[in-house]
Amino acid sequence: MTNPIRRGGTLLAAAALTLGLAACGGGLSDSSSSSDSGSAGGDIKLGMLTPLSGSSAAIGPYMKNGAQMAVDEINAAGGVDGRKLSLTVEDEACDPKTAAAGAAKLVTAKINISVGGYCSGATLPTLTIFEKANIPMLIPAANSADLLKGSLKNVFLINGTGIQQAQAAADFIKAEGSKAVALVDDNTSYSKDITTRAAENLKTAGVTVANQQSVTAGESDYSGAVTAITRANSDFVYWTGYYQEGGLLIKQLRAAGYTGKIMVADGSVDKQLVDIAGEANAQGVFATMTQTPSTIPGGEKWIADYKAKFNADPGPYSTQSYDAVRVAAEAVKKAGSTDGAKVITALEGIDNFKIFSGNLKFTPEHTLSEGGFDILVVKGTDFVLNK
């Protein structure tokens, strides 16, 4: 069926996305921030937390490479007012303690801006660490509404929010004619937020939530969840956790004879979900997802450039990470400084800046004012746009 939940905005050519950042006038001033280099001639230091270990480690290289690609392009074009960008990457492992330790390392390294954050539960404890150090955060992936609860001025989301994702999911499920939905999360901030909101949206839309449950991440046997889903006669399952558990849940649902529709949230959008579930089991599985390189109309050149640079295919959150660096550079340029408070003010004032999801202007809550979620579907070994 035609996808009823298309995001606003279209891809501009990669050249259009990268031009205009280099050698702009105005001059960068020295900053009084403890995170600054202390010299107008020093590097503009960016830091990234991304999973380099743990069950979501496959995402780390996508984010790191996407960010590095933008850094290299901006530097090749002259930097920002003659200053080069540098990128320091630390592991978050989708684990709060590991992420907090990584954030502390980045503060010690005196980064100016954070451009990372994948798992919301791991990103949450880093918010105040970076806030106390006067470091703005451009978060390319993590998107739980819990990230916004503190109304911290240094926090900006480059990805669509869990609020938007839950609504997109509910709209699609209703359009598919579902009568009894099962909602399954892994009890993390990101995952629980989506199922809770999706349940509310479905009930408002008149769709029955026949089963809502949380499972424990990291387990290998989800037979209890499968039994609850089948006993509830669910005709649609929406999994909102990550791909490791999502692949196992899909595999075990199909093995138990479940023939209904299955959809996963953006944390499960990776080819490894297909590998874990088994290609036959994963066929036709839907997903709520912001743009990926392969689903952006006209994105072939960017993909080719990425592959030429890293000898690998780009994956989820590579484009969002690329854009996070570009937005950071734009804010520094507009601020004429790497001082945290000045950069935050510049970020709040950005209007009509071209990124992959559309024209960037942050809402008062520091979320995207344009852009949203697509519905993808597994065909073969990968996710493609559902048409």
Q: What is the pLDDT of residue 362?
A: 96
Inside any domain, residue 384: no
Q: What is the pLDDT of residue 40?
A: 56
Measured from the Cβ of residue 156, the count of other Cβ atoms closer than 10 Å reads 28
Q: What's the mean per-residue pLDDT of the chain?
A: 90
- 36 and 111 belong to one structural domain: yes
Global confidence as pTM? 0.82
- 269 and 360 belong to one structural domain: no
- 207 and 335 belong to one structural domain: no
Domain span at residue 259 reads 163-289
- 316 and 350 belong to one structural domain: yes
Q: What is the pLDDT of residue 255?
A: 98
243-257 pLDDT tens trace: 999 999 999 999 999
Q: What is the pLDDT of residue 168?
A: 96
- Whether 84 has a pLDDT exceeding 50, the answer reads yes
- 107 and 24 belong to one structural domain: yes
Mean pLDDT across the stretch 80-93?
Answer: 97
Measured from the Cβ of residue 366, the count of other Cβ atoms closer than 10 Å reads 22
Q: What is the pLDDT of residue 79?
A: 97
Distances, alpha carbon 369 to alpha carbons 50, 119, 125, in Å: 25, 22, 25
282-299 pLDDT tens trace: 999 999 998 888 888 778
CATH code of residue 326 = 3.40.50.2300
R_g of the chain computed on alpha carbons: 21
- In this predicted model, which residue has the larger pLDDT, 21 or 80? 80
- 269 and 306 belong to one structural domain: no
Inside any domain, residue 63: yes
- Length of the chain equals 387
Q: What is the pLDDT of residue 357?
A: 84
Inside any domain, residue 201: yes
- Whether 301 has a pLDDT exceeding 70, the answer reads yes
Q: How many structural domains comprise the chain?
A: 2
Mean pLDDT across the stretch 4-26?
Answer: 39
Residue after which a domain boundary falls, among 289, 320, 344: 289
- In this predicted model, which residue has the larger pLDDT, 104 or 145? 104
- 152 and 235 belong to one structural domain: no
- 34 and 154 belong to one structural domain: yes
Q: Per mean pLDDT, which range of 17-21, 181-185, 209-213, 369-373 is the poorest? A: 17-21
At 327, the pLDDT band (50, 70, 90 cuts) reads: very high
| Residue 54 DSSP symbol | S
Q: Strand (E) positions, 3-57?
A: 44-50
Q: Single out the residue of 318, 325, 272, 275 nearest to residue 295, CA to CA.
A: 318
Mean pLDDT across the stretch 165-184?
Answer: 97
- Whether 169 has a pLDDT exceeding 90, the answer reads yes
Q: What is the pLDDT of residue 12?
A: 39
